[in-house]
Amino acid sequence: MKQVLPLSEYHSLKSTNTNSFAILSSYFTESIFSLWRQTENAKYLGYAEAIRRSLVRRQTPSGGIANVKDVTTEEFSEKIDFQEPMLLSGTLKYLFLTYADPTVLSLDQYVFNELGHPLPICGRHPVYPAELCSYNSKIS
């Protein structure tokens, strides 16, 4: 039977040093997205698919996607009753962008801030033309 840990236990786990605990951080999927867009190496699509399958296995009866106390167990039997806010704002966004057409949020026109929000690059995006940039040099 699968066990869901209460939120109070989640906070104590987060401060321990264990290799088997996993949270739903967006940093890894951001790296997969960036590497796929830069290299078009199919192995990164394979990594993205493995992440997607893992997220499906983490689904909870309430409809969320849980953190896992021990990823070394066969079926992630101990789930933590807490969904990271960055799951929707980062992890799923970067998975979507990995599979999306490269013209969707092109890395030639956008840069992502630490929270994963796309910002137009001055002089490279139609809504932010070079003449509106705060510096006088041309963008190559």
Token duo for residue 11 = 């906070």
| Dist CA 22 CA 49 (whole Å) | 18
| Dist CA 62 CA 49 (whole Å) | 23
Taking only the tens place, the pLDDT of each residue in 91-129 is: 889 999 999 999 999 999 999 887 778 999 999 988 888
Spell out the domain ranges in the chain: 3-100, 105-140
| Dist CA 82 CA 59 (whole Å) | 11
In our burial notation (b when 16+ CB lie closer than 10 A, e otherwise), range 43-64 reads ebeebbeebeeebeebeeeeee
Taking only the tens place, the pLDDT of each residue in 35-80 is: 999 999 999 999 999 888 888 877 776 777 877 777 676 666 677 7
pTM above 0.75, yes or no: no
Q: Which residues, 6+ apart, have CB-to-CB distance to 12 below 8 Å?
A: none
Mean pLDDT of 78-97: 82
Token duo for residue 62 = 């309430």
Please answer whether residues 32 and 51 qualify as being in contact, where contact means their C-beta atoms are separated by less than 8 angstroms: yes
| Dist CA 68 CA 114 (whole Å) | 24
